[in-house]
Structure 1
Amino acid sequence: MGAIAFYVYSIYGVKSFFEEEIDINESFSPGISILKPLCGLEDNLRENLTSFIQQNYPQYQIIFCVRDVNDPVIILVQELIASFPEKDLQLIVCDRIFGYNYKASNLVNGLPHCDYDFILIADSDIEVKADYLKTIIQPFQEEKIAVVTCLYESIGNHLVSILESLNMSGNFIPRVITAKKLEGVKFAFGSTIVIRKKVLEEIGNFDQLINNIADDFLLGNLPTKLGYQVKLVNYIVTHHVGKETFINYLTRQIRWLKCIRVQRFWGYIGMIFTQGIATSTIFLCISNFKFFAFLLLIITYFLRLNLAYQVGIKYLKNSTCYQYLGLTILVDFINLYIWIKALFGNQIKWRDNEFIVNKDGELSKRC
């Protein structure tokens, strides 16, 4: 019953979220410093970075941050800088490491080169449209807004990308929108984080992230503890899913959920209601296939697939969702497995290292 209530409420929330219009004030265009932490070459990387360079916006800079002087991504960035001499593009190569989070180290090294009052962080696997900056900056016309973030859709041409796309449209996005309606936005996503520079300074700059795996979450959460607000805009960016094995996909998902569990335990427990197909199927089996349980299963299946259709096909128009919508059922069973695995222990594997995650999301090296 809890899953049915979640799906009904999510369908309502999704409709109101995606149909909300964003008013563009053309005269509001403050300067933006874009930080791009990079490590290695990825699928579609040139196109991703180029999409940020070619923005229909008057004043912005991009700072590409690389840690290893031998990283092949340096050559790509140099080529992009040469191709767009009219743009304010900088390459910062610095091997200083602060803590265990190398992405945070890149951000620490890049921050001194930011010239503007708004700092944008976006992961390297994100591609955007030309109106991106003009759109996401709009909420900052209200002084109480300290952070702007946005959702993303996943695309690719392999098994993991299919799972990511279906999970994103049928599970992740509805869950975020529901959380937004119930308790407000107290988080941010690596797909897009825009933060006022003065607020970043108030929370201790990127130094607060160097030993925390949930750096995206903290950049949204810490400002709310100071009384600021986070705005989730309905601008959807594209996440290009790199090739990886199914086992690596499971390991990554379990790692993320463990971090959620140690930081937001009750929110983690509530995720069980987002896996209605799996849980209602299990309930049908343990109830010895009673009619009431079968009826619940049919209602749950209908609502779950309807929710995935609304997000993935109606609003995102995601081609993967068009082709593989029926696999949403399989995704629910995989998510239940991941949820159960993440329920136990606080040990994670990240970048070939093993860590212990404490209740604040801080990492300590496992001996």
Structure 2
Amino acid sequence: MSSNWLLDTLHAVGIALAFAAAGYACVALWAVMKGSRKPQRVPPDPTPPRPASVLKPLHGAEPRLYENLRSFCRQTHPEYQLVFGVRDPEDSAIAVVKRLRGEFPQRSIAMVVDPRVHGANFKVSNLINMLPHAEHDLLVLADADIHVGPDYLTRVTAPLADSGVGIVTCLYYGIPGPSLWSRLGRLFIDDWFAPSVRLSHAFGSTRFAFGSTIALRRDSLQWIGGFEALRDILADDFWLGELTRRAGLRTVLSDVVVGTEVSESKLKDLWSHELRWLRTIRSIAPSGFAMTFVCFTSPLLLLGLALAPGAFTLGLAALGGGARLLLHFLQRRISDQAFAWHEVLLIPLRDALLLMEWAAALAGWQVRWRGQVLHARGDGSAP
């Protein structure tokens, strides 16, 4: 009797896992299809774009730093300033900025070198040091590894004409290097992170903000206490958006999708990077993060089949696997990157690695970031 009860329970669990994994894959595919539709064409605004200052904190000569920063120098926006900042006067990123100054003499480019530290978050300390050099009231923050198109700045600042908008932020896709681990890192962004955001947004949530882009007005920043309010917080991008939302301002997810470098060449580097992301997400939304395992399609479908073999579970596995494959294909099209059939073989490995990272993220709070060991605690602080 007890043996039959156990078998029945395992069978039910198997069906539930397969159903949850297949259901999530299908809903995520719907959300990505919905979110990737081209926006309706609207008449051009006769009002010229307002001047903007782009703040880019730097730390070392990261892969393709020159190409990525150069994309910000080639904007069609009629009037804007670039403010780069480092803490170390020997930082190798300074030479890249000097090269850009020589190549774009017509562009307003400020280079801030300031070693002052204002809190546990060195990136925010950098921004605090850079802000006095920003000349304009529209501010755009973007990480050093972001690559953008020439109309990016005009498009991401346009919603700020509405006084009810607090920040504008952008989703991003991965630009991989030649290594296997870099390609798996791209799949983390494209096939898991971006669809999860699209799904959340499709159901009405705007509780997000990404370091890829945060555009806001200077008065909004001052209203929430400036960058100083974020100086001891690890997830500074999220909390910059969250504080504006608590002030009654809206968050806009731009239709602009930017690129980000994925340069990890070793498993340990990829693991450390993604574990930091996952533990940061856990600190922001612990309850939702606990249920994130349903997003890891491949291992859950295989486990469901193992626990509940049969035609019904096999049908769920086929449905979920097909949706997962279509999601991968659609994300390649969104990022204008070629679809490679051999990458399909990486999907089960990617999902399994994510499941292991998710389990590791539940086991602690410690993260490593640019030489610092921090704790992504539940209150969002990083002492």
Q: Which residue of 1 aligns with 2:5?
A: none
Q: Which residue of 2 aligns with 1:127?
A: 147
Quick check: 56-65 or 260-269, which moved more?
A: 260-269
Amino acid in the other structure paired with 2:24: F
Amino acid in the other structure paired with 1:293: T
Cα pair distance change 1:228/1:322, threshold 3 Å: farther
Query: What is the TM-score when the length of structure 1 is the normalising length?
Result: 0.93
Q: Which residue of 2 aligns with 1:184?
A: 205
Q: Does 1:164 align with 2:160?
A: no
* Cα distance in structure 1, aligned partners of 2:310 and 2:135: 65
Q: Give secondary structure in 1 for the equivalent of 2:166.
A: strand
1:275 to 292, 296, 307: 296
Larger CA Rg, structure 1 vs 2: 2
Deviations 1:159-210 (A, max 9, x none): 2321122222221111001111224212111111101111111111111222
Amino acid in the other structure paired with 2:351: D
Quick check: 175-184 or 105-114, which moved more?
A: 175-184
Tell me how far 1:231 sits from its aligned partner.
0.6
C-alpha RMSD of matched pairs (Å): 1.8
Tell me how far 1:335 sits from its aligned partner.
0.7
Q: Does 1:256 align with 2:274?
A: no
Quick check: 347-356 or 122-131, which moved more?
A: 347-356
Tell me how far 1:321 sits from its aligned partner.
5.3
Aligned residues: 362
Tell me how far 1:322 sits from its aligned partner.
5.6
Q: Which runs of 4+ in 1 moved over 4 A?
A: 320-323
Tell me how far 1:234 sits from its aligned partner.
1.9
Tell me how far 1:28 sits from its aligned partner.
4.0
Quick check: 222-231 or 242-251, which moved more?
A: 242-251
* Cα distance in structure 1, aligned partners of 2:78 and 2:200: 35
Matches within 5 A, 1:61-80: 61-80=81-100
Matches within 5 A, 1:174-253: 174-253=195-274
Q: Which residue of 1 aligns with 2:21?
A: 3
* Cα distance in structure 2, aligned partners of 1:75 and 1:187: 34
Q: Which residue of 2 aligns with 1:16?
A: 34
Deviations 1:22-67 (A, max 9, x none): 6452524011110010111011111111110111011110011010
Tell me how far 1:351 sits from its aligned partner.
2.9
Contact 1:10 1:175 in 2 (8 A): yes
Cα pair distance change 1:321/1:30, threshold 3 Å: farther
1:284 to 295, 302, 305: 305
1:337 to 342, 345, 356: 356
Cα pair distance change 1:286/1:355, threshold 3 Å: same
Cα pair distance change 1:148/1:35, threshold 3 Å: same
Q: Which has the higher contact order (CA 8 A, sep 6+)?
A: 2
Tell me how far 1:276 sits from its aligned partner.
1.9
Tell me how far 1:271 sits from its aligned partner.
1.7
Amino acid in the other structure paired with 1:18: S
Q: Which residue of 2 aligns with 1:89?
A: 109
2:127 to 107, 110, 120: 107
Quick check: 101-110 or 208-217, which moved more?
A: 208-217
* Cα distance in structure 2, aligned partners of 1:290 and 1:352: 50
Q: Which residue of 1 aligns with 2:370?
A: 351
Gaps (5+ residues) in structure 1? none
Deviations 1:122-153 (A, max 9, x none): 11111111111111122223221111111111
Tell me how far 1:268 sits from its aligned partner.
0.8
* Cα distance in structure 2, aligned partners of 1:151 and 1:361: 22
Q: Give secondary structure in 1 for the equivalent of 2:316.
A: helix
Deviations 1:229-262 (A, max 9, x none): 1111121111122244111111111121112112
Query: What is the TM-score when the length of structure 2 is the normalising length?
Result: 0.90
Tell me how far 1:326 sits from its aligned partner.
3.3
Q: Which residue of 1 aligns with 2:6?
A: none
Tell me how far 1:286 sits from its aligned partner.
2.8
Quick check: 66-75 or 292-301, which moved more?
A: 292-301
Contact 1:166 1:312 in 2 (8 A): no
Contact 1:166 1:321 in 2 (8 A): no
* Cα distance in structure 1, aligned partners of 2:287 and 2:182: 29
Amino acid in the other structure paired with 2:33: K
* Cα distance in structure 1, aligned partners of 2:109 and 2:326: 44
Contact 2:22 2:317 in 1 (8 A): no
2:77 to 33, 57, 61: 57
Tell me how far 1:320 sits from its aligned partner.
6.1
Gaps (5+ residues) in structure 2? 1-18
Quick check: 73-82 or 2-11, which moved more?
A: 2-11
Contact 2:230 2:239 in 1 (8 A): yes
* Cα distance in structure 2, aligned partners of 1:113 and 1:44: 26
